[in-house]
């Protein structure tokens, strides 16, 4: 098992201020990550519910929907990271957690640690981690997504050595994230979200990291 405290500092606001009513209400600092597989899989981005990922609760919390860890990590994977009997955030409950963390002022790092065994899962987990620290009304989803996409890519660049991610593979992922965002944008032509220039600028993302 690999266990790493990823360094995930807050990013500046990259979208219109009205996107959030609680931007960086709890500044992000670190995310405790454990890989429950013998090897971390470097795979492509998939715009669907990620597998092999779970936000594990440090202590029981009835404020959010939960499921048993082994349902998402497998019994062997859950045992490998010490989560055989642990509860995790239900994968459909990211928005619920974002709302409840903000409402109760629960620091995410004191509430969850992360298990993820592949790059796609780790990317979306970091994306969700940005959600948890930046609460919004979600009335312009694309703008929220741009902020979180940027954070996830910047954080992966910052932690690429710890993750085992080459510069070239990060660049490939950046291109996939940009393409995914552009496709989403085509479905939301009235968005107030600015053009995704930051996702197209590798050097800028690296500076943000």
What is the rounded CA–CA span in Å between residue 174 and residue 160? 13
Report yes or no: 5 and 116 within 8 Å, Cβ to Cβ.
Answer: no
Q: Is the CA virtual torsion 15, 20, 23, 29 positive or negative?
A: negative
The CA distance from 17 to 115, in Å, is 32
What confidence score (pLDDT) does residue 49 get? 84
Spacing of C-alpha 106 from chain mean position = 17
Residue 70, token pair as written in the block: 């082994």
Angle, nearest 10°, between helix axes 119-133 and 94-104? Answer: 30
Q: How many domains would you assign to the chain?
A: 1
Q: Which pLDDT score is estimated for 1?
A: 82
- Nearest CA to 58 out of 35, 92, 32 is that of 32
Owning domain of residue 35: 2-208
pLDDT reported for residue 209:
92
Question: What is the model's pTM?
Answer: 0.97
Tally of CB atoms within 10 A around 36: 25
Strand arrangement of the beta sheet that strand 30-35 belongs to = 2-7, 30-35, 112-116, 53-57, 87-89, 66-68
Cβ–Cβ < 8 Å for 169, 148: no
H-run or E-run covering 33: strand 30-35
The per-residue pLDDT string of the chain (209 residues; one tens digit each, 9 = 90 and over) reads 899 999 999 999 999 999 999 999 999 999 999 999 999 999 999 988 899 999 999 999 999 999 999 999 999 999 999 999 999 999 999 999 999 999 999 999 999 999 999 999 999 999 999 999 999 998 999 999 999 999 999 999 999 999 999 999 999 999 999 999 999 999 999 999 999 999 999 999 999 99
- Burial of residue 27, with CB atoms counted within 10 A of its CB: 0-12 exposed, 13-18 middle, 19 or more buried: exposed
Tell me the C-alpha distance between 95 and 135, whole Å. 9
């Amino acid at each position: 098992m690999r266990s790493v405290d990823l360094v995930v500092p807050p990013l500046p606001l990259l979208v219109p201020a009205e996107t959030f009513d609680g931007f960086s209400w709890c500044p992000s600092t670190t995310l405790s990550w454990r890989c429950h597989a013998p090897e971390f899989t470097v795979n492509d981005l998939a715009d669907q519910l990620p597998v092999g990922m779970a936000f594990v609760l440090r202590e029981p919390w009835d404020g959010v929907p939960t499921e048993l860890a082994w349902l998402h990590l497998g019994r062997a994977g859950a045992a490998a990271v010490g989560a055989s009997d642990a509860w995790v955030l239900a994968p459909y409950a990211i928005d619920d957690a974002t709302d409840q963390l903000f409402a109760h002022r629960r620091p995410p790092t004191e509430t969850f640690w992360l298990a993820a065994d592949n790059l796609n899962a780790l990317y979306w987990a970091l994306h969700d981690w940005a959600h948890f620290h930046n609460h919004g009304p979600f009335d312009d989803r694309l703008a929220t997504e741009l902020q979180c996409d940027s954070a996830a890519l910047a954080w992966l660049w910052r932690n690429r050595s710890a993750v085992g991610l080459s510069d070239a593979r990060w660049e490939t992922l950046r291109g996939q994230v940009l393409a995914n965002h552009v496709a989403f944008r085509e479905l939301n032509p009235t968005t107030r979200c600015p053009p995704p220039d930051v996702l197209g600028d590798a050097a800028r993302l690296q500076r943000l990291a």
